Each structure stands twice: as structure tokens, then as C-alpha cells.
Structure 1
């Protein structure tokens, strides 16, 4: 399921699913993962592949609850199940869907949004 990204102004992300397009609202997104020149969006148990950069999707979702946590991942803060840390304050994000990521130091400024929510 691949699609060239061109964003409509309605604040939703068009993704191709078979022979149709689905328009995802930011709150429906569970997580986004970089895969080479593509991004993989997980929503409602489905995976959607778009030819888009992480920087471009991050800009599109900047006013939503989907935040960047490292070079390769963005998560919906409403879908975080646990936030674990060790004595050195290295954070691990555990999602409702079971996926886990390490929170990168470069993106630690976004941590306050999670802790304040």
C-alpha cells in the first residue's frame, strides 16, 4: 500500500488501502515509523505505507498529540501505555499496541508534553 503524499487542507492524512483512499485523523494514528524513504503509519490495527519523510509528517502533525520521540518514530501520546526509565534517565516508550521505542535525547523536549497530559 504505497501512495505519494500530497496533503489536503482538511487536516487529515490520505492513505491508500487497496483500491480506495482512507483519510486518517491525527487522533486515529497510533504510531509512525520511518522505513528508508517511506513512513509506516499504524492505525486501527492496520499499517499504511507512504512515500514521505519524517520531517514532513512531523510538520503536518505539529499541532496534534502525535510527537516525535526519535529519528525513526513518532507516537500518539494518548496511546502510550508506559514510560520506563533507568537510573541514567534513558526512557523507553511502551505503546498500547505493544511496540517499544527508546526516547532519543534530541527529542527529549517533547517529554514535557507527555508528562503534562
Structure 2
């Protein structure tokens, strides 16, 4: 909203050249830094997903006659470890932090990644 009761002197374009230059420099620098961190994080996440896929593939190749439930029991702990890694990441958008919350434990239990006995062992470990 434009106020007519306040009169400011005109601002010359020469006075804006330094702040505009600094703003542009820091905006480009900060954006580049954010994208670098994002792509590094994305690379690590894809590496974990690839390692899990490789592990499951090795299980299927090395144990071809094994029942699917046995393969699941061999693979679920590796998948749960990736979940726990994500749960422990910091941030305000999630429950990230050092401790695993009850809601995160429920995700592991409801996905059948860990049993109640395994969850109690995990809770006692920390």
C-alpha cells in the first residue's frame, strides 16, 4: 500500500549497484551450494537403494530354491537399516534426530520389517 504521508528522497541507481551485485553473487553462490548438497545426498540415497537391490538379487541368485518367506527374512533387516538411517536424519519436516520415535517404530512394525521382539531389542540397545 502506498503511503502519501511519508516522503523519501529519490534513490539513485548508482547507490543500488553494490547491493544488487552482492545480492546476485550470494544468491548464485547459495543456490549452487544447495544443489551440490542435494545431489550429494541424492547420490547417497540411490547408493543405499542400489545396495539393497544388489543384496536381494544376490539372495535370489545364490538361493534359487528358497521360499519367498525365507528370502524376505534375509532381506528385511537390510531394508529396515535403510529406514532407520532415514529416521535418524535431522530436520524439522520429520521426526529426525538421534532417537527413533514410537511412530517410526510403528512404521517398522506395520511394514513387517521388524518384529516386536526385534524392536524391543533395538530400543534396549540405544
TM-score normalized by the length of structure 1: 0.28
Higher relative contact order (CA 8 A, sep 6+): 1
Which has the greater radius of gyration?
Answer: 2
Structure with more helix by fraction? 2
TM-score normalized by the length of structure 2: 0.27
Structure with more strand by fraction? 1
